[in-house]
Amino acid sequence: MALGCGGAAAPAAPRPASPVLSDVRVELSALTLVVGASGTASASGVDQFGMPIVLSTIEWSTGTPSVATVSAAGVLTALSSGQTQVVATVGGKIGRATLTVLDVPVSSVTIAPSLATLLPGASTQLVATVLDVSGRPVAGRAMTWGSADSSKVIVTPGGVITGVATGTTNVTVSVGGKSATAIVSVAAPGEPATIEISARTVRLVVGDTLQLAATVRDAEGHVLTGHDVTWSMSVAAGQGVATLSGAGVVRAVSAGTVVVEAESEGQRGALAIVVRDNVDESIVVTFANPVPNELIGDTLRVVAGVRSERALRSVVAEVDGTRYPLELTPTNRSGVLWVSLIDVMFQKYGPYVLTVIATDETGAIGLAAITYQRDTRIGEVGGKLPPRNK
């Protein structure tokens, strides 16, 4: 043992202090989540010297559970828009991080029905459907309803419309920066509200004649008699395809498609007529799914089947004389099934026709057409010729 000058022992060096948890730090996999999404939270600790330290059991919680919750394993679930603190508690020490939850962005909104007719004083419910970018319904969003002319139609904050006076106006719903519009007409009892023609599509062969019939109904759906019906046909679309008499008699003249309209006191109905040169069934076009008479929203989904005994050269959709190529997906050796989204923009209330035209390698043509109760213009619908099916 060493002795100092006075013979006393030297003091022992101080023992290092044991690491003690000083601070808890919380990290989030994402600082922002949308409602319904999940994330993770993790925690780390440092001692009094700022060095990492292994944490014991972590207790997780959130400051506002209605905004987001966190599991014992640190899994976050976003529940509603807002902000909340994600809290980790370890041995009396607390760490926090702020999580922001946003509403799911709205991609589109539609109203059903998109066309409605009421009697003065009558009411009906409009229903708005909100979709996200994946096409999934979005619930619980605040909606704003409004009528363009409250002297004709009023609407409640919940979308209930009531007829006030005869006439037509627009009712609009807005949500998440998107909007949709329904056309609402108010008709007095006994006044024409709708016109129904015997069919939406008729197929004729050159030389055939057909007597058309129209049924006029009031806003309650009652059949009305004694109201004159005027028949008309678009000259540009129907010239050379068919003739139409004032009594509603159609005579097929040449291959093509034409729209015939029936009008009574401002109300209109429409019929698509497809004329073929002969009854050759080597190439046939049919609509493969029920297609609604009224369009809802800004997108119309059309599914059609094309059966051909020979290779196909092209398939197009035609609206108002403009043709748009469609891409086909083969299903078997004797035919194809194609699916196409047609983006339409509403212009005015009224009938129009969508025609699908398929041409095979010999030039033979198959047609299918159907009418809708809105005039529109079509957007881009693909751009590739269909595959040649051998």
Domain with residues 194-276, CATH architecture: Sandwich (2.60)
Give residue 72's pLDDT: 94
CB contact at 8 A, 58 and 89: yes
Where, residue-wise, is CATH 2.60.40.1080 in the chain?
21-102, 108-186, 194-276
CB contact at 8 A, 47 and 21: yes
185 pLDDT band, cuts 50/70/90, is confident
73-82 per-position pLDDT tens digit: 999 999 999 9
Sheet holding 267-276, edge to edge: 201-205, 267-276, 256-264, 230-233
Where, residue-wise, is CATH 2.60.40.650 in the chain?
283-378
- Strand ranges inside 91-188, DSSP E: 93-102, 108-112, 115-118, 123-125, 127-131, 144-147, 153-155, 160-163, 167-175, 178-186
Give residue 335's pLDDT: 52
101-131 per-position pLDDT tens digit: 998 899 899 998 888 888 899 999 999 999 9
207-256 per-position pLDDT tens digit: 889 899 899 988 777 888 888 999 998 754 456 888 999 999 999 998 88
Residues 269 and 166: their CA atoms lie apart, in Å, by 20
312 pLDDT band, cuts 50/70/90, is confident
User: Is the entire prediction scored with pTM above 0.75?
Assistant: no
298 pLDDT band, cuts 50/70/90, is very low
DSSP one-letter code for 302: E
Average pLDDT over residues 287-292: 57
Average pLDDT over residues 195-218: 84
- Statement: residue 6 has pLDDT above 60: no
150 pLDDT band, cuts 50/70/90, is very high
- Rounded to the nearest integer, the mean pLDDT of the chain is 80
350-375 per-position pLDDT tens digit: 556 677 888 888 777 787 777 765 53
Give residue 302's pLDDT: 62
Q: How many Cβ atoms are within 10 Å of 231's Cβ, its own excluded?
A: 19
Size of the chain in residues: 390
CATH class of 283-378: mainly beta
Least confident range from 37-51, 98-112, 271-285, 321-335: namely 321-335
Instruction: Return the sign of the alpha-carbon dihedral for residues 343, 297, 336, 332.
Output: positive
Residues 35 and 102: their CA atoms lie apart, in Å, by 6
Residue 169: strand, helix, or coil: strand
Fold for domain 21-102? Immunoglobulin-like (2.60.40)
Give residue 163's pLDDT: 94
* Domain covering 108-186 assigned CATH 2.60.40.1080 in the classification: yes
* CA-based nearest residue to 380, from 334, 340, 339, 346: 340
257-284 per-position pLDDT tens digit: 888 889 988 888 888 888 887 656 677 7
- Statement: residue 144 has pLDDT above 80: yes
CB contact at 8 A, 214 and 229: yes
The more confidently predicted of residues 287 and 379 is 287
CB contact at 8 A, 182 and 115: yes
Residues 6+ apart with CB under 8 A from 6: none
> Would you list the DSSP string of 324-368?
EE---EEEETTEEEEEEEEEEEEEEEEEEEEEEEEEETTS-EEEE
CB contact at 8 A, 83 and 96: no
Give residue 357's pLDDT: 82
